[in-house]
A = this chain, B = another copy of it.
């Protein structure tokens, strides 16, 4: 259950605000980068899920706790885990880590799988299997 995927981002000037720190909404953008990368590491691309399967992973809940600030030009690690997986929904959890390993933020997102018109549907089987592996692995 603890298998995770890491990806790094470098904080952009555009992501700071006048407090001199990262504007908090950007963490949700990084979470999206994290889960995109997790899916990629399992051998497929979220892009293809949309394009070829007409299948969308829509955000239904998002939360983030901000423990320590991140600043311009910091290199951060986004660590993503599949927290819970069902045939029509998936939850991810995230940690944002500084270069020296401090945990700057933690968060979760919940998602429902839909078709192009926004109606709930099941994950295509091979995607479900690929994600399952992650949800049960033990890195």
User: How many copies of the shown chain assemble into the complex?
Assistant: 4
Q: How many residues of A are in contact with the other chain, CB < 8 A?
A: 37
Kindly state whether residue A12 has any CB partner on chain B within 8 Å.
Answer: yes
Hey, which chain B residues are within 8 Å of A118, CB to CB? 69
- Restricting to A15-53, which residues have a CB under 8 Å from any CB of B? 16-21, 23-26, 28-29, 32-33, 36, 45-47, 50
Q: Which among A58-66, A93-101, A120-128, A131-139 touches the partner chain?
A: A58-66
A28 to B59, CA, bound (A): 14
Instruction: Give 6 new A-B contacts, CB below 8 A, not counting A17-B17, A18-B19, A25-B25.
Output: A12-B32, A13-B36, A17-B18, A47-B73, A61-B64, A69-B118
